[in-house]
Structure 1
Amino acid sequence: MINKISIRCSLFSFLLIAFFQLSCAGKNNTDISEETNLIVKKIEKINVLMGSAVGYGGNRPEQYDNFEELKKTASQEELLQLTKHSNAVVRCYSFWALGNYKNFDLFSLVKDHINDDAPVKTQFGCIISTEKVGDFFINLVNPENENSEIRQLTKKEFSKLETILINQENSLYALNNAIESATPTKALYPKLRALVIKKHNQSALVTLSKYKNPNDIELILTNREKELDDDGESGYFYTYKAIQNFPDPHFFPFLEKRLYETLDNDHFSNEWLEMYAAIAAYKDAKALELLKIPFTKVQHQNIKEYHIKFVYEGILVNPSPLYDDLLWKIWQEEHIITLEGFTYLLQLNSGKTLEFSKKELMPNYQIKNTKSTARFTQGIFTENLEETMLNFLLINDKPFTYKILKEKIATAYVNDFEIYCAKVLELGDKSFAESLFKRLKNEGNPHVYLQIVETLISFKDKAINERILEVRKQNKNMNVDWGSYSLNAILEKNNIK
């Protein structure tokens, strides 16, 4: 009798639960319209979060059309509900769409998804990757990222979000970003130290080092990244970063040992940059001695260039007058110079920089010892080092710069040619015409000959225009494939027949 009653009760309970489940399911279905559900299913089927242009051709994918449909069709309430959808791509697109609503509380929604660590496959342009849903939400509304498509959090809101990330258990990549940008405070210190000890969090180690607390020396010295192929020498990237913030004498023997371990390697490691930057952070004679070691003691010459390059970059991270001569040496003997290094050395000695720049752009030039000061303004600087050097030379030695330009027009490869030809176009001086025609006569690369033609046309000289047509008859390369069609368009646009 008892068994029968139990069975009946169990059956009744089962039916009751099933009824409520079906009722809830029915409610969810009615909350999302059939039209919206159809779009959601399309998004689920492709199951990749895509931008408006993907692949090398920058084509608009079908998935982005689905997203646009979702934005047009789904209501704000539907989108909010879809941020809880079981599919990660649907959640991301729904949040993205909500970013278009002016009065919607994005902050609270992002905060609610701090523990949403489901992976989502993404494709923006040619880049295919995977990130966590919570990270996508945060990146989308980060005020540091320029995104005119959606409303972003205020800096105050984002700062508050980063505080929550640090204090709330989560596995997002954004946690590391929050730690790295955190201002060291007394209250934050124990949290950071706990993250290092308990979670082996490398970003926390770097921020912890900013406190320069002697109690953390051993923690930094014994730190090594886990889950790396153990070659006995790697895994110290964040250790080196920490030492840069806290260049205590206790770390110097460690750095010296690590440096000597690299000298016989037949491969390079990007960790070396941080190692050399850590050494440079000491800014003393011993550090200078270590920074000079790769010039003479690296066993494999093909690896030496990487050492020197990293020494150079490490010094620029932690510059000091002690290292200035080494920077000049690296430029002169190793031909390593960057825009950052050029700017630094220009401030030190403009006359010497002028001489070195001449040598850089014309290798057979003999550097002169000079105590003169070269002129420069902020207007010389662009994002390109060679263009910046050209601008610098132009205001100090125009004839020499013209000589460089004519030589580069004749010899520069396609990737560099654009810079020099663009400078000729900017100058608008017909004296470059002969150099341009000499290159045009046999040039086979459309990217080069089209730019030459446009530059020649810019001189607005009838004789030059007629000569372009004559050269085209002689150079068969100018009459084939897409280059020929583009050339026709240029000539037609300028009424050159």
Structure 2
Amino acid sequence: MTVFLIWSCSGKNASEISNETLLIVKKIEKINVLMGSAVGSSGHKPNQYENFEELKKNASKQELITLTNHSNGVVRCYSFWALALSENIDLFSIIKDHINDDTQVKTQFGCSGSTEKVGDFFINLVNPKDEDSDITKLTPDEFNKLDSLLIHKENNLYARYDAIANAVPTAYLYSKVREMVVKHNNQNALITLSKYKNPHDIELILKNRDPDEDGESGYFYTYKAIQNFPDPIFLPFLEKKLNETLDNDRYDGEWLQLYMAIASYKNQKSLELLTIPFTKVKHQDIKKYHIKFVYEAIIVNKSKLYDDLLWKIWQDENIITQEGFEYLLQLNKTKTLELSKKELNSNYQIKNTNTIPKINQSMFSQNLEENMLNFVLLNDKVFAYNVINDKIINTNVNDFEMYCSKILELKDPSFTEILFKRLKNEDNPHVYLQIVETLISFKDESINKRILETRKKNKNMNQDWGSEALDEILKKNKIK
């Protein structure tokens, strides 16, 4: 067997690599892009990934360890990836040796092409928070040690920013973090520094601005820092920045963090500032973004002080989320029921009532609209049935599935006529196939006969893949 020497990128070590493995390495070098198993809009397997599969199959563990020090960054990445798919490899030691490996490699996973530093690829691949079960992960203890190394050892990896942002504040770490803010204007370090809530850092936070931003922007990390350290000294600054947004004719994503910072105070002044956009935003098309950000800020910083504002946003602005729904349900079941009815039927007139609605745990799902419908079903069946009937006729394909599934769950044949009314002219296979399956579930021969008659009249049910799928459904249920 012919043997070659492969020198590390540092030029310090040499090991024996078989001729067969070297040929694979040369093919990887030639393409010189780190690719996944499926790329492009068609999701085809690229030749480069086949090269990687050859490398996994043919290279020994020792060869792969050696190749993590190859002069080509893509080869280093694939070699480490192959090792991470093996067992009994000290991945932590390899990563430690590559903390300064900031070589940029081109990458393509799926349709997305990008670049990544080799050291970052190593770390991201074995992050224990990643759920890829095929890859061997670092233990939580190893990852914590790695974060400490990233912080204390000079390097240019993006992983260092994550390590700083996730660092637990300790007296030992404080001086290092502050130095990174003062000397390097490290924005992630500013957020960690704010967790110490040290009055000596207030001026540093107030003067902070991301140098890469312009205009009124550049305060994203400043706002994040204030959320950790809501000192009263920052309130005039936040009020000033809020007032600067009111005449803008386009929204800025930073505003969410601004409102988060304001809401973190949970006092009368913060409530006053959070109500400003309801009346003082100049452009109505921009106002909706302000209100949405206010809502999100309140949900993160829940407080009795903000409850009335949360109700107002739901009732007047029609903004509600799953978390908000469950929170308001705990506060006032009656009011939540009335607003749920309004949400399901925009023409509904909210009533004042003292009736205490019923709830049960089975009404909750991952779908907010379904939660509201289930809540209404428990307490006003007639209203809920009217909503379902209306949605079956008028809702689009995206929402139709939930309402049709609800009929299937209720097993109430009173919905038969409304389903046939939609089926009569429906042209979307996703809709008419679900209607047919729901109608069949009633196990009524007369209904089955009507399905066949409706199909004869609705030519859409006899075209393309939908027709074939319908044939299968009918055959499975012995309907002919």
TM range (shorter): over 0.9
User: Offset of 1:61 from its aligned partner?
Assistant: 3.4
| Alignment pair present for 1:147 and 2:144 | no
1:294-321 CA distances to partner (integer Å, 9 max, x unpaired)?
A: 1111111100000000011111121111
Amino acid at match of 1:141: V
Residues 228-252 of structure 1 deviation map (CA, whole Å, 9 limit, x = unaligned): 2x21x10000100111111111111
Cross-structure match for 1:379: 362
Is 1:337 aligned to 2:324, yes or no? no
Whether contact under 8 Å (2:38, 2:44) holds in the other structure is yes
User: What is the alpha-carbon distance in structure 2 between the residues aligned to residue 72 and residue 329 of structure 1?
Assistant: 62
CA distance in structure 2 between the partners assigned to 1:463 and 1:56 by the alignment: 47
RMSD: 2.0
| 1:184–1:468 CA distance, 2 compared to 1 (3 A) | same
Q: Is the alpha carbon distance of 1:299 and 1:70 closer, same or farther for their aligned partners in structure 2, counting shifts above 3 Å?
A: same
In structure 2, give the amino acid aligned to 1:290. L
Corresponding residue number in structure 2 for 1:51:
36
Cα displacement (A) at 1:41: 2.9
Q: Secondary structure at the match of 1:136?
A: helix
* Partner of residue 67, structure 1: 52
Decide which moves more: 87-96 or 455-464.
Answer: 455-464
Q: Percent identity?
A: 68
Deviation of 1:403 after TM superposition, in Å, equals 1.9
Deviation for aligned residue 1:402? 2.1
Offset at 1:455? 2.2
**Match in the other structure for 1:15:** none
Cα deviations across residues 446-489 of structure 1 (Å, max 9, x unaligned)? 22222222222233332222222221221122222232232223
CA contact (8 A) 2:126 2:136 kept: yes
- Measure, in 2, the Cα distance between the counterparts of 1:253 and 1:128: 44
Residue 413 (structure 1) aligned with residue 396 (structure 2): yes
Out of 250, 268, 271, the residue aligned to residue 288 of structure 1 is 271
Which residue in the other structure is 1:10 paired with? none
Once the two structures are TM-superposed, the CA of residue 44 in structure 1 deviates from its matched residue by: 2.9
Offset of residue 360 of structure 1: 0.5
- Residue in 2 aligned with 1:91? 76
Partners in 2 of 1:382 and 1:211 — Cα distance? Answer: 39
Partner secondary structure for residue 379 of structure 2: coil
Verify: 1:221 aligned to 2:222, yes or no.
Answer: no
* Stretch of structure 1 that moved more, 283-292 or 33-42: 33-42
Q: Is the 8 A contact 2:38 2:109 kept in 1?
A: yes
1:264-303 correspondence to structure 2 within 5 Å: 264-303=247-286
1:273-310 per-position Cα deviation (integer Å, ceiling 9, x unaligned): 01011111111111111111111111111000000000
Cα 1:117/1:494, change in 2 over 3 Å: farther
Match for residue 478 of structure 1 among 440, 444, 461:
461
Q: CA deviation at 1:433?
A: 2.1
Describe the shift of the 1:169–1:381 C-alpha distance in structure 2 as closer, same or farther (beyond 3 A): farther
Distance 1:471 1:291 in 2: 56
Structure 1 match to 2:343: 360
1:311-350 correspondence runs (5 A): 311-350=294-333
1:168 aligns with 2:148: no
Displacement after TM superposition at 1:23 (Å): 7.7
Distance, in Å, in 1 between the alignment partners of 2:303 and 2:277 is 19
Deviation string, structure 1 residues 413-441 (Cα, Å, up to 9, x no partner): 11222222222223332222222211111
Question: How far 1:97 moved relative to its partner?
Answer: 1.0
Secondary structure, counterpart of 2:30 in structure 1: helix
CA distance in 2 between counterparts of 1:92 and 1:493 reads 50
Q: Which residue among 38, 62, 69 is the counterpart of 1:77?
A: 62
Distance in structure 1 (CA, Å) of the matches to 2:177 and 2:18: 47
Q: Aligned match of 1:259 in 242, 245, 248?
A: 242
Which residue does 1:436 correspond to in 2? Answer: 419
**What letter is aligned with 2:333?**
S
Structure 1 residues 136-215: aligned runs within 5 Å:
136-215=121-200
Residues of 1 paired with 2:446 and 2:41: CA distance? 41
SS in 1 for 2:348: coil
- Aligned pairs, how many? 472
Q: In 2, Cα distance between the equivalents of 1:456 and 1:62?
A: 49
What is the aligned partner in structure 1 of residue 376 from structure 2?
393
- AA paired with 1:278? A
| Residue pair 2:329, 2:336 contacting (<8 A) in 1 also | yes
- What is residue 18 of structure 1 aligned with on the other side? none
Q: Which residue of 1 aligns with 2:10?
A: none
Residue type of the alignment partner of 1:201: N
User: Comparing 41-50 with 95-104, which one deviates more in the overlay?
Assistant: 41-50
Q: Distance in 1 between matches of 2:459 and 2:173?
A: 70
Cα deviation, residue 346, structure 1 = 1.3
Counterpart-to-counterpart distance in 2, 1:196 and 1:370: 56
Q: Partners in 2 of 1:377 and 1:123 — Cα distance?
A: 48
Does 2:123 align with 1:115? no
Q: Distance in 2 between matches of 1:435 and 1:207?
A: 58
Moved over 6 A (4+): 22-25
1:426 aligns with 2:409: yes
Aligned-partner Cα distance in 1 for 2:6–2:35: 32
Counterpart mapping for 1:223-262 below 5 A: 223-228=208-213, 230-231=214-215, 233-262=216-245
Superposition TM-score, scaled by structure 1 size: 0.90
Choose 370-379 or 263-272, whichever is displaced more.
370-379
- Which SS does the other structure have where 1:357 is aligned? helix
Secondary structure of the residue aligned to 1:224 is coil
User: Structure 1 residues 110, 424: closer, same or farther in 2, change over 3 A?
Assistant: farther
- DSSP 3-state at the match of 2:36: strand
Q: Which moved more, 1:145-154 or 1:49-58?
A: 49-58
Pair member with larger Rg: 1
Q: Distance in 1 between matches of 2:379 and 2:51?
A: 58
